[in-house]
């Protein structure tokens, strides 16, 4: 399962609530996140924080390398052991954000061999709401966190709705409880 959306849309909150809900119902789960906290993920985070620069293509190649490693050392072993994996971001983030500077078809090809998610939730929240939330929690904005860029990323996310089966667009501009209730109803039908 994957939770996707703009920064500030509540991805981490909903991913944690989903993990807790599944645990409470006796389902073994692993909550993970991209970019990872591993070596390649650290390079990505440094670039997003504008601590060092690389080309847009190199950054997207790093995202894919981080994902390949993440799948091999964390996601695939967990799935093999019967654990439900919840990922806070995955392929859609690469496509939605990466397509601002890199050709979408190139990004789709680059990520085409990776495992497809069984279930994806895109939390749809207006860019200005996301930016307001981010500025409440921190003092700086990262590489893509600009209203105009967020508007284009949001359009990219919405255009991806049918790219993978079992993708749901969830109105994330509500209380976290209301958003989770929407997710929970879908989960209860599927699991």
pTM: 0.93
Phi, psi of 175 (to 5 degrees): -65, 155
Q: Under CATH, what is the fold of the domain 2-190? A: Rossmann fold (3.40.50)
Q: Are 118 and 111 in contact (CB under 8 A)?
A: no
Q: Please report, in tens digits, the pLDDT of each residue of the chain (191 residues total).
A: 999 999 999 999 999 999 999 999 999 999 999 999 999 999 999 998 888 899 999 999 999 999 999 999 999 999 999 999 999 999 999 999 999 999 999 999 999 999 999 999 999 999 999 888 887 765 565 556 567 888 999 999 999 999 999 999 999 999 999 999 999 999 999 88
């Amino acid at each position: 399962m994957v939770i996707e959306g703009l920064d500030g849309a509540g991805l981490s909150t909903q991913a944690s609530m989903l993990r807790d809900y599944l645990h409470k119902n006796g389902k073994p789960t692993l909550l993970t996140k991209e970019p990872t906290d591993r070596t390649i993920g650290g390079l990505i985070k440094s670039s997003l924080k504008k601590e060092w620069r690389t080309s847009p293509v190199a950054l997207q190649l790093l995202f894919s390398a981080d994902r390949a490693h993440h799948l091999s050392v964390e996601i695939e072993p967990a799935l093999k052991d019967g654990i439900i994996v919840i990922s806070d971001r995955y392929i859609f983030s690469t496509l939605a954000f990466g397509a601002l500077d890199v050709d979408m078809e190139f990004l789709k090809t680059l990520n085409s061999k990776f495992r497809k998610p069984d279930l994806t939730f895109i939390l749809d929240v207006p860019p200005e709401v996301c930016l307001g939330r981010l500025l409440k929690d921190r003092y700086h904005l990262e590489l893509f966190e600009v209203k105009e860029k967020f508007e284009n990323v949001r359009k990219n996310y919405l255009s991806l709705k049918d790219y993978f089966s079992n993708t749901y667009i969830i109105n994330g501009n509500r209380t976290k409880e209301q958003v989770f209730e929407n997710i929970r109803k879908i989960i209860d039908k599927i699991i």
